[in-house]
Chains A and B, each alone.
Chain A
Amino acid sequence: MLTAIIKEAWISIASYKLRTFLTMLGIMIGVAAVVMMVSAGQAVQNRITDTFASMGSNLILIGPAELVTGGVRGGRGLPSVTVADVAALKTLKDVETTSYLMNAAVQAVYGSRNYGVSVKGTNPDYLAVNNWEIEDGIMFTEKDVRAAKPYAVIGQTVVDELFGLQNPIGKTIRLKGKPFKVIGTLREKGDGLMGDDQDNIILMPSTTVRQRIAGSPRPQYTGIAFVKATSEDKMELVAKRVEYMLRTRHRLKDGVKNDFTVRLMTEMVEKVRSVGFVLSALLAAIASISLIVGSIGIMNMMLVSVTERTREIGTRKALGAPNSWIMMQFLAESVLISFIGSFVGMVFGIAFSQLGGHLFGYEVPISIWSVIVSVTVAVVVGIVSGLMPALKAMRLNPIDALRYQ
């Protein structure tokens, strides 16, 4: 019986091709939008998580304290962790390595070319901590840091802007009028989380930056320090030790707040992940508005169809169709429209999200959830939007229906 009903429903919707297609279009767009938005949300979420993970999930970040005035957060305070602090932290138990950054924005000059770059003074461990790789040449060493050598390891944007097609290794660039020798180039990383150009970077020994570039009145302080724990499960413990050591070194008395903040990468990943999840849910919720519009479209079309086919319904009833059959047929029509629309929408949604991912350089996962959600939505939308018209058809009095003009 079900096969016969589905076949009847199929023939009925196939009889009005354009109308059926236009009705399906609403659902197609709705489902495609949901699939694309969910995929986009997931892609961004994965990208963020991967980025954090690539930096090492067992990383502890130490930054300036938060400024709180009268209970209101007022941004970050001045840097408080010194290079010496970072070196001392390396001696702590269960710490694999430490690193730090001193940031400066300066104009780099080579020959007649110049370009505004972000200079980061650090130690050689920064590469490992931040997942950078050397493309060409070498990274400076601890010895170079101690000697404050005027060495520069430059990112791909700097290579392109200053050297074009020339090999930059061994060349001398000038920053603030002082010469620096390019000893290595970094492998391209692409845009960062906020769309910033990560490759517009020059790494230098921190001592070099402090002595030759940073015009900061507090050159001995780091912008941000990194402590890499030996394993993820030791992080809490290491964080406690870091806090204790820094409080001791900064001579903070009991009751005085920390003049630094200690954050665990795992916590941040978790936070970002939950933000990403909310973002995905929000995007899906917005996209589902078009699904609702699509389902209203189905309901509208089915109501028109019931009115238009009133006499057919009367005839079918006169010829022996039970009420349940009439209801099932109209329900099957709306479910079929919704099902086909959802399926096509899902295919387009996946295709477009893959295409979009390809264009923007994101890896977009094909989520099994997209499929499950699409099919569920199809059936639910089909039933919900088809139920009222189907009940209307079922309740039609055959005598009135046969008389309908």
Chain B
Amino acid sequence: MAEKIVIDVQHVCKTYFMEGGTSQSVLKDINFQIKSGEFVAIMGPSGSGKSTLMNILGCLDKPTSGKYILEGYDIASKDDKELAVIRGKTIGFVFQNFNLMMKRTIADNVSLPLIYQKVGETERYNRAVEMLKKVNLIGYQDRPPSQISGGMQQRVAIARALINNPAIIFADEPTGNLDSKTSDEIMELFTFLNKQGITIVLVTHEDDVADYATRMIKISDGHKVYDGLRKEYSKEKEIKC
């Protein structure tokens, strides 16, 4: 697997400033790198800061201090417009509740990111059909998402995340709304995609889901407490680092 660094997080802190002058520090001096082709699970209990970290990694938010470099872009120095372009070109998102547009066809949903890259209508459709093949949903392109199961809907969302050939896929609790059998199917799909060289970062609090990842980063109280192979993880190895 290639060793190119896709994500470089250096001393990232995130503090929320409230009304009345109080502040809350959510992420404290986080450092790590993710290389191309890795499958990383970000774990942590509720309120640990893993979602905030995910938002920063997904370029939806910026760190208060520290540096975040994604594919060579220094994210902290980019404005909203540039961030939108970076998100569109280098990131694929998979959400817990799929976030599909129910009144549109599956093909429309899958090809949505391409609109913002000014790709023509026919090409968008063809590429959507191609992606649907990849997630094993051949023939569903012209139906609305409401006619298919939750697992299939998540696969549509994965196809949407893949359509712009992103450097990395961020999945936020991708199996949170699915039963265990469907969850396994989705995680196997992620594993399959990872084996094809796609970098995957997923946020989860489920151990079963995290088991599909090769590497695990654990956040607790805003600190990184574990960063290593998933199979080598044990509670005892957690340290504030």
Closest to A312 in B: B101
For A318, what are the chain B residues with a Cβ–Cβ distance below 8 Å? 58, 60, 87, 93
Contact A320 B117 (CB under 8 A): yes
Q: Tell me if A315 is interfacial: C-beta within 8 Å of chain B.
A: yes
Minimum distance in angstroms from A253 CB to a CB of chain B: 88
Contact residues in B for A315 (Cβ distance below 8 Å)? 93, 95, 99, 101, 112
Pick the contact of A311: B99, B116, B118 (CB < 8 A). B99
Contacts of B116 in A (CB 8 A): 319-322, 325
List, in ascending order, chain B residues with CB within 8 A of A1's CB: 118
- Interface residue A305 (Cβ < 8 Å from any Cβ of B): no
Contacts of A312 in B (CB 8 A): 99, 101
| Contact with B85, one of A15, A314, A322 (Cβ below 8 angstroms) | A322
**Set of chain A residues within 8 Å of B99, measured between Cβ atoms:** 311-312, 314-315, 402
The minimal Cβ–Cβ distance linking A152 to chain B, given in whole angstroms, is: 77
A-B complex: 3 closest residue pairs judged by Cβ atoms: A320-B88, A15-B103, A315-B99
Tell me the complex Cα distance, A288–B95, Å. 47
Tell me if B113 is interfacial: C-beta within 8 Å of chain A.
yes
| Cα(A145)–Cα(B99), bound, Å | 95
Name A320's contact: one of B84, B108, B121 (CB within 8 Å).
Answer: B84
Per the 8 Å Cβ criterion, residues 77-93 of B in contact with A are: 80-81, 84-85, 87-89, 93
Query: Which residue in chain A gives the minimum CB-CB distance to B88?
Result: A320
**How close is B96's CB to chain A, nearest CB, in angstroms?**
10
Chain A residue nearest to B52 in the complex (CB):
A399
Q: Does residue A317 face the partner (Cβ distance < 8 Å to B)? A: yes
| Cβ-based interface call for A11 (8 A) | yes
Are B84 and A317 touching (Cβ within 8 A)?
A: yes
| Chain A residues within an 8 Å CB radius of B160 | 319
Q: How far is the CB of B108 from chain A (nearest CB, A)?
A: 8
User: In the complex, A402 Cα to B85 Cα: how many Å?
Assistant: 18
Taken together as a complex, chains A and B put the C-alpha atoms of A28 and B113 apart, in Å, by 35
B61 within 8 A of A: yes
- Name B59's closest neighbour in chain A (CB-CB): A318
Q: In A293-344, which residues have CB < 8 Å from any B CB?
A: 311-312, 314-325
A314 to B84, CA, bound (A): 12
B55 interface contact, C-beta 8 A: yes
A398 interface contact, C-beta 8 A = yes
List B97-118 residues whose CB lies under 8 Å from chain A: 99, 101, 103-104, 108, 112-113, 115-118
Q: Which residues of A contact B121 (CB under 8 A)?
A: 4, 7
A399 touches B61 (CB 8 A): yes
Residues of B within 8 A of A363 (CB): none
**Interface pair A320/B89, CB less than 8 Å apart:** yes
Decide yes or no whether A144 CB sits under 8 A from chain B.
no
B115 neighbours in A (Cβ, 8 Å): 4, 8, 321
Contacts of A316 in B (CB 8 A): 112
Bound CA span A11–B102, Å = 12
A194 to B24, CA, bound (A): 79
* Residues of A close to B81: CB separation below 8 A: 322-324
CB<8 Å pairs between A and B, sample of 19 = A4-B115, A15-B104, A315-B95, A315-B99, A315-B101, A316-B112, A317-B84, A317-B87, A318-B60, A318-B87, A319-B88, A319-B93, A320-B116, A320-B164, A321-B115, A323-B80, A324-B81, A399-B55, A399-B61
Collect the chain B residues with CB atoms within 8 Å of residue A322's CB: 80-81, 84-85, 116
Closest residue of chain A to B58 (Cβ to Cβ) is: A318
Contact B118 A399 (CB under 8 A): no
Q: A4-B115, A312-B101, A318-B87 are in contact. Are A402 and B80 (CB under 8 A)?
A: no
Least Cβ–Cβ distance between B231 and chain A, in angstroms: 31
- Given A4-B115, A4-B118, residue A320 in contact with residue B55 (CB < 8 A): no
Complex-state Cα separation, A321 to B86, whole angstroms: 10
When distances are taken between beta carbons in the complex, the residues of chain B under 8 Å from A321 are 84, 88, 115-116
New A-B contacts (14) at CB < 8 Å, excluding given A311-B99, A320-B84, A323-B80: A4-B121, A7-B121, A15-B103, A312-B101, A315-B93, A315-B112, A317-B87, A318-B93, A319-B113, A320-B85, A321-B84, A321-B115, A321-B116, A399-B55
Kindly list chain A residues whose C-beta atoms are within 8 Å of the C-beta of B55. Answer: 399
> B104's contact among A11, A320, A323, A398, by CB below 8 Å, is which?
A11
Please give, as numbers and ranges, the residues of chain B lying within 8 Å of A402 by CB-CB distance.
Answer: 60, 95, 99
Q: Is the CB of A320 within 8 A of B61?
A: no
Distance in angstroms from A94 CB to nearest chain B CB is 75
Instruction: Give bound CA distance, A398 to B83, whole Å.
Output: 12
Output the least CB separation between A141 and chain B (Å).
83
A392 to chain B, nearest CB (A): 16
Closest to A403 in B: B51
Residues of B within 8 A of A8 (CB): 115
In the complex formed, the residue of A with least CB distance to B86 is A320
Which of B61, B101, B118, B121 has the most chain A CB within a 10 Å cutoff?
B101
| CB-CB nearest in chain A for B104 | A11
B contact residues around A15 at 8 Å (CB): 103-104
Residue picked from B108, B112, B160, most chain A C-beta under 10 Å: B112
Task: Name the interface residues of B118-144: CB closer than 8 Å to any CB of A.
Answer: 118, 121
Determine the distance from Cα of A321 to Cα of B89 in the docked complex, in whole angstroms: 11
Residues of A within 8 A of B112 (CB): 315-316, 319
Query: Which residue from chain A places its CB closest to the CB of B61 in the assembled complex?
Result: A399
Q: Restricting to A45-76, which residues have a CB under 8 Å from any CB of B?
A: none
Contact of A323 with B84 in the complex, beta carbons under 8 Å: yes
Q: Closest residue to B160 on the A side, CB-wise?
A: A319
Within 8 Å CB of B164, what residues of A? 320
- Among residues 323 to 380 in chain A, which have CB atoms less than 8 Å away from a CB atom of chain B? 323-325
Using a CB-CB cutoff of 8 Å, which residues 10-49 of chain A contact chain B?
11, 15-16
Are A398 and B85 within 8 A (Cβ)? no
Asked, given contacts A312-B101, A315-B95, A398-B60, whether A320 binds B113 with beta carbons under 8 Å apart, the answer is yes
A399–B60 CA distance with the chains assembled, in angstroms:
7
